[in-house]
């Protein structure tokens, strides 16, 4: 009997230790979804890889003065141009960087420089926002005004051909979409998803946010969230986008890959979280690229169109050597060698807007080359190469 009690005590201790480890990284939110998910199966058709790099681009990060901000933006406009020019996808396009620029850090000179970079063929500008204890009226005023400024002053953001309204992609500051932080900080609006839809948001690109407690139970998905205006985190679950379907909620969310990295383990035992974040301490190694593609984020019914959305905070000095240097250069070289042979894989560098258009084309049942659907519903803004009539250098 004593040995049985000892075994049960050890088992209970092990379960408690595991639970505490999961809680420490907020993994209890999503680990069940991860373990239940069945990787998609693809037949003998080539897998088209849509590679989308989104950036919480914050020149004023950490309270930087204007000279530091200028240096950060200037380095991006110089070094990214040089890096991207060395690479091409299957369609002959260079890597596309989606600059989600924060409204509260607006500076015309920074956006003018980014708009020129985008007009030369290297990306597009979208909307980022940090706010706290906000109100619906202020949120509407803030976002609508910022979108008009981006469009009128900097040629960013497209107009919907059908309605004429401005459309934008969105990343929420501090990951707190729809007031999703348990303590209510860094948002304050429980009906934010409804407001985003009404203001013209075509899709949200905030997730994954792990290990933050704002992470959703839904992972590795392209799905629609339906807002509950009286409760936060309405996007915790939703309806997957699928071939032959149509809009199934208030807002489309395009998530990046999230899982466990078994090839990078603490103490050789505990796997690290793979959350699609690229920075100095998390360089984009070939093993990570393989994991991103293998996750297979897709519109249900079109598993051969894989979406790889990764993210970064591009203006932080500790990360820029990685993002603008040899490690990211090597990432693109690996993508172009391992995932662009034209037989097993076809690589497409896409902006956030293009990822949305291709996802909607898949939903509409379109097949073939996703390149044909980069502008499926929303045209390119004037600040992009396609919208400006200029050619990549």
| Residue 121 domain boundaries | 47-388
Q: What is the pLDDT of residues 228-237, one digit of tens each?
A: 999 999 999 9
Q: What is the pLDDT of residues 48-95, one digit of tens each?
A: 999 999 999 999 999 999 999 999 999 999 999 999 999 999 999 999
Strands (E), 40-94: 47-56
Strands (E), 112-186: 123-129, 168-172
Cα three-residue angle 175-153-107, rounded to 5 degrees? 55
Rounded distance between C-alpha atoms, residue 170 and residue 167, angstroms: 10
pLDDT of residue 23: 54
User: How many H helices and E strands in the chain?
Assistant: 12, 12
The three-state secondary structure class of 253 is: strand
pLDDT of residue 20: 46
pLDDT of residue 17: 46
pLDDT of residue 262: 79
Q: What is the pLDDT of residues 169-178, one digit of tens each?
A: 999 999 999 9
pLDDT (average), residues 201-222: 98
The three-state secondary structure class of 53 is: strand
pLDDT of residue 43: 79
Q: What is the pLDDT of residues 268-289, one digit of tens each?
A: 567 889 999 999 999 999 999 9
Q: Is 25 exposed, middle or buried (0-12, 13-18, 19+ CB in 10 A)?
A: middle
Tell how far CA 225 is from the center of its chain: 16
Q: Flag whether 32 is in a domain.
A: no
Between 108 and 24, the higher pLDDT residue: 108
Q: Is the pLDDT of residue 249 over 90?
A: yes
Q: Calculate the alpha carbon distances from 326 to 86, 135, 191, 194 in Å.
A: 12, 44, 43, 42
Q: What is the pLDDT of residues 310-349, one digit of tens each?
A: 999 999 999 999 999 999 999 999 999 999 999 999 999 9
Quickly state the pLDDT bin for 40 (edges 50, 70, 90): confident
Q: Flag whether 13 is in a domain.
A: no
Rounded distance between C-alpha atoms, residue 151 and residue 387, angstroms: 12
Q: Which helix (H) or strand (E) holds 241?
A: none
pLDDT (average), residues 193-222: 98
Q: Flag whether 29 is in a domain.
A: no
The three-state secondary structure class of 225 is: strand
Q: In this structure, what CATH number is given to the domain that contains residue 350?
A: 3.20.20
Q: Which helix (H) or strand (E) holds 260?
A: strand 259-266
Q: Flag whether 36 is in a domain.
A: no
Q: Flag whether 16 is in a domain.
A: no
Quickly state the pLDDT bin for 97 (edges 50, 70, 90): very high
The three-state secondary structure class of 151 is: helix
Q: Flag whether 2 is in a domain.
A: no
Domain count for the chain: 1
Q: Is the pLDDT of residue 392 over 90?
A: no
Q: Which helix (H) or strand (E) holds 265?
A: strand 259-266
Torsion sign across C-alpha atoms 336, 340, 345, 346: positive
pLDDT of residue 266: 64
Q: Calculate the alpha carbon distances from 207 to 174, 347, 376 in Å.
A: 11, 22, 24
Q: Flag whether 109 is in a domain.
A: yes
Q: Flag whether 174 is in a domain.
A: yes
Q: Is the pLDDT of residue 5 over 80?
A: no
Q: Is 160 exposed, middle or buried (0-12, 13-18, 19+ CB in 10 A)?
A: middle
Rounded distance between C-alpha atoms, residue 169 and residue 25, angstroms: 28
End-to-end CA distance of the chain: 78
Mean of pLDDT over the chain? 92
Q: For residue 392, give every residue at least 6 positions away whose Cβ sits within 8 Å of its Cβ, in sequence order, or none.
A: 85, 93, 94, 120, 121, 122, 385
Listing DSSP states for 111-124 in one string gives HHHHHHHIIIIIEE
């Amino acid at each position: 009997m004593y040995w049985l009690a000892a075994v049960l005590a050890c088992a209970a201790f092990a379960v408690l230790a595991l639970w505490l480890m999961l809680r420490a990284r907020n993994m209890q939110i999503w680990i069940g979804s991860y373990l239940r998910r069945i990787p998609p199966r693809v037949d003998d058709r080539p897998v088209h890889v849509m590679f989308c790099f989104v950036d919480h681009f914050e020149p004023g990060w950490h309270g930087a003065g204007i000279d530091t901000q200028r240096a950060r933006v200037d380095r991006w406009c110089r070094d990214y141009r040089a890096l991207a020019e060395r690479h091409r996808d299957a369609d002959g396009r260079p890597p596309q960087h989606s600059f989600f620029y924060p409204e509260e850090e607006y500076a015309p000179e920074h956006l003018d420089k980014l708009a020129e970079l985008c007009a030369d063929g290297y990306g597009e500008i979208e909307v980022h926002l940090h706010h706290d204890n906000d109100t619906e009226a202020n949120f509407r005023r803030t976002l609508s005004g910022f979108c008009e400024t981006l469009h009128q002053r900097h040629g960013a953001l497209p107009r919907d051909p059908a309605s004429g309204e401005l459309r934008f992609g969105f990343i929420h500051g501090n990951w707190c979409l729809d007031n999703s932080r348990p303590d209510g900080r860094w948002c304050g609006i429980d009906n934010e998803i409804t407001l985003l839809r009404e203001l013209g948001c075509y899709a949200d690109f905030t997730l994954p946010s792990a290990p933050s407690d704002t992470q959703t139970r839904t992972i590795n998905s392209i799905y629609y969230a339906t807002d509950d205006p009286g409760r936060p985190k309405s996007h915790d679950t939703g309806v997957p986008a699928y071939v032959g379907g149509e809009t199934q909620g208030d807002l489309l969310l395009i998530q990046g890959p999230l899982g466990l990295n078994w090839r990078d383990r603490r103490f050789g035992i505990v796997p690290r979280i793979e959350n699609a974040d690229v920075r100095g301490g998390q360089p984009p190694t070939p093993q990570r690229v393989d994991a991103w593609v293998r996750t297979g984020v897709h519109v249900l019914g079109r598993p051969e169109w894989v979406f790889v959305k990764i993210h970064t905070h591009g203006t932080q000095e500790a990360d820029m050597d990685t993002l603008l240097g040899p490690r990211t250069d090597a990432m693109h070289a690996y993508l172009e060698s391992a995932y662009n042979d034209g037989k097993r894989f076809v690589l497409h560098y896409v902006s956030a807007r293009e990822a949305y258009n291709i996802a909607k084309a898949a939903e509409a049942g379109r097949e073939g080359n996703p390149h044909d659907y980069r502008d499926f519903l929303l045209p390119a803004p004037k600040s992009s190469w396609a919208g400006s009539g200029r050619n990549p250098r």
